[in-house]
Structures are given as C-alpha cells and as structure tokens.
C-alpha cells in the first residue's frame, strides 16, 4: 500500500504465475466445456479468408477468433481474481483504518534545543 518497489516486484511475479494458472484453467477446463456445448473444439474456431491451394503450394488464411475469445476469458478471470483477492480486501482494510483511527498530528513536538533557539531568536528580534 505504500508503493515499495519490493512489494511491486513480488506482485508482478505472483501475477505472472497466477496468469499461467488461469491460462491452464481456461485452456484445459473452460474451452473443452464450451466445446462440448458447441459441438467443436473452441480454441480452433476460425473464419477462412483464403482456401488452401495444394497445387500452388499455398496455405489457407484463417482468422482464429477462438484464441481471441480464450484470451478475453483469461483476462476477465485474472482481472476478477485480482480485484476480489487484492483490491477489494485492501480497500476494506483502508476503510477500517479510516473508521478506527482519526488522523493524528504527525508533527513531532519540538526538541528542547529547538525551543531554546526559538526563544533566542525571539529575544534578538525584540532587541533589534
């Protein structure tokens, strides 16, 4: 919450690892379930732009929108997990701190030396 570089580095590493878990979850669990519902492999959904011509040695051109949908599902799951596991608890913690503690005056009391120097300054100003 204070912007430490180490905290940020840890968050990036954990986020990357968590992203791998979510990618596996979507590819291995969500896509096959959607494929069963739709009757085809979800990740292979595509639109054919140009048919393959084996005689000319040309490959077909496809827009694979199934992979895009998988990436969108990955993003939504990662964003939801970060929101509910990180952002929401930190906001609740900050709210509890605000309710439980009034902002205190953070200025420390002046030291004895500072008080004496202030008095000397005031005396010199009166004499001048």
51-83 pLDDT, tens per residue? Answer: 877 777 777 787 878 778 777 877 888 788 878
Q: Is 0.75 topped by the overall pTM?
A: no
pLDDT band at 105 (very low <50, low <70, confident <90, very high): low
Which residue's structure tokens are 């992203």? 19
Residue among 74, 86, 89 at smallest CA distance from 8:
86
Question: pLDDT value at position 81?
Answer: 80
Q: Which domain holds residue 85?
A: 5-103
| Sign of the four-CA dihedral 6, 82, 36, 70 | negative
Structural domains of the chain, count: 1
Residue 60 lies in a domain: yes
The confidence score (pLDDT) of residue 2 equals 55
Residue 125's pLDDT is 92
- Identify the sign of the CA torsion 29, 30, 31, 36: positive
Asked if the structure places residue 125 within a domain, the reply is no
* 10 token code pair: 């840890």
pLDDT of residue 35: 72
pLDDT at position 104 over 60? no
> SS3 for 47?
strand
Model confidence pLDDT, tens digit, residues 3-39: 567 677 777 888 788 788 888 887 788 777 777 776 6
Characterize 1-12 residue by residue with b for buried, 16 or more Cβ atoms within 10 angstroms of its Cβ, and e for exposed: eeeeeeeeeeee
Report helix, strand or coil for 2: coil
Query: Residue 83 sits in a domain of what CATH number?
Result: 1.10.1200.120
Q: Within a domain: residue 110?
A: no
Tokens of 72: 């969108």
Asked if residue 17 belongs to a domain, the reply is yes
Structural domain includes residue 128:
no
């Amino acid at each position: 919450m204070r912007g430490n570089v180490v905290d940020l580095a840890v968050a990036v590493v954990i986020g990357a690892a968590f992203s791998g878990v979510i990618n596996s979850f979507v590819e291995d669990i969500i896509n096959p379930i959607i494929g069963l519902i739709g009757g085809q492999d979800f990740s292979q959904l595509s639109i054919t732009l140009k048919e393959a011509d084996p005689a000319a040695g040309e490959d077909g051109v496809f827009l694979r929108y199934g992979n895009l949908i998988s990436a969108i599902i990955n993003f939504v799951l990662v964003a939801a997990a970060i929101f509910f596991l990180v952002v929401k608890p930190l906001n609740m913690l900050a709210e509890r701190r605000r309710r439980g503690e009034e902002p205190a005056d953070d200025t420390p009391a002046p030291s004895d030396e500072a008080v004496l120097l202030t008095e000397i300054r005031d005396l010199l100003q009166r004499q001048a």
